[in-house]
Amino acid sequence: MARYSMKEYFFLVMTDRKTGPGDRVAAGVLYFVSILYAMVMRFRGRMYKRGFFKVRKAAVPVISVGNITLGGTGKTPFVAFLADRLTALGMKPAVLTRGYGDDEHRMLRDDIPDVPVVVGSNRVRNAEKAVRLGANILIMDDGFQHRRLGRDLDIVLLDSAKPFGNGYVFPRGTLREPQDAIRRADVVVLSKCDKIPEGTDLKKIAGNLDIRQGVPVIAIKYKAKFLSDVTGAVYPAENFKGKKVCIVSGIADPEYFGSMVGKTGAIIESERYFMDHHAYTQNDVNEILRMCVRNEADAVIVTAKDYVKLRKLDLSELESKLFVLKISVDITQGEEVFSAGLNSLIHASRS
């Protein structure tokens, strides 16, 4: 346990990555706390359902994009994808995000520079600000648990391989609320569907999710779009085929990131995975540089989420080899129903 911070240790316990005798005791304590937490979340949900907690409507349609687990679904790139899709349909979207101190809002601003990203914990106030900026439709990032601002469409992303994590509510597991909360969803998106066997029937998966009857289920995967260097110059993903690379990330699902890099044809010489939301230090940069030199790597590839943190540090000795993987969203099943839903919402907003 001495090798980990307290935060890291409990994360490893809650995700079942540490299962020794002492760890099981810690898991038991976390399970007790999770029962109390689940009770609070259920009570809160009932208060909203019965009108004791007021829901505020925005002046324009609101699409919430969220999840029911702590990270790992690729929510932020999906928000950027949705903003681009709405822009292509002639709308003027804005994104509402808490910011939350983890730089994801900076990643959004990099990915969708022409779309306003309004940061702050008060979503109702930020919705009003976004409308004043000219937005005629809003995307509420990480909005599933934020009930105060009303939404016209509730999109929930689930990891295709582990829709509800390990099945336990936080802090014993990664569920942000009891899994039957999924019944609030208007659209369920099974992300990273390339993690499950090809040809798997979506209806079979959906049948195990306890979603409302008639709720559409869409499958998506993420793939390498291109890579960029520290100057912003863009390189086709195929340029890295056969090159020796080291990969670095501090995200909830580093293995999936590794698989995307591998599909470019790059030869992965080494991997360095930090905890999700890792706050990088100069020592981390030095460690990454040593790893790169040791493995005689042609490049170090990081996620966009990690780069917004790394770029605050001194990268002078690493910058010639540092590349950021930019990804795109590919809807593999349910494209027609997804497009129809967006078109219906847009039509209703204009009538």
Structural domains in the chain, sorted by start: 6-48 (no CATH), 62-216+334-350 (3.40.50.300), 223-327 (3.40.50)
- Phi and psi torsions of 279, nearest 5°: -90, 105
pLDDT tens readout for residues 249-287 = 999 899 999 999 999 999 999 999 998 888 899 999 999
**Peptide bond preceding 61: is omega within 30 degrees of 0, i.e. cis?**
no
8 has pLDDT over 90: no
Can you tell me whether residue 149 is helix, strand or coil?
strand
**Backbone region of residue 109 per phi and psi (left: phi > 0; alpha: psi in -120 to 50; beta: other values):** alpha
Q: Token pair of 277, please? A: 């939301």
In 3D space, the residue among 321, 320, 323, 339 whose CA is nearest the CA of residue 331 turns out to be 339
Give SS3 for 49. helix
pLDDT tens, position by position, 193-225: 998 887 777 777 777 888 998 899 999 999 999
Q: What is the 3-state secondary structure (H, E, C) of 52-66?
A: CCCCECCCCCEEEEE
| Predicted model pTM | 0.93
Percent with pLDDT over 90 in the chain: 83
For residue 1, the 8-state DSSP code is -
Alpha helices in 64-138 (DSSP H): 75-88, 104-111, 123-132
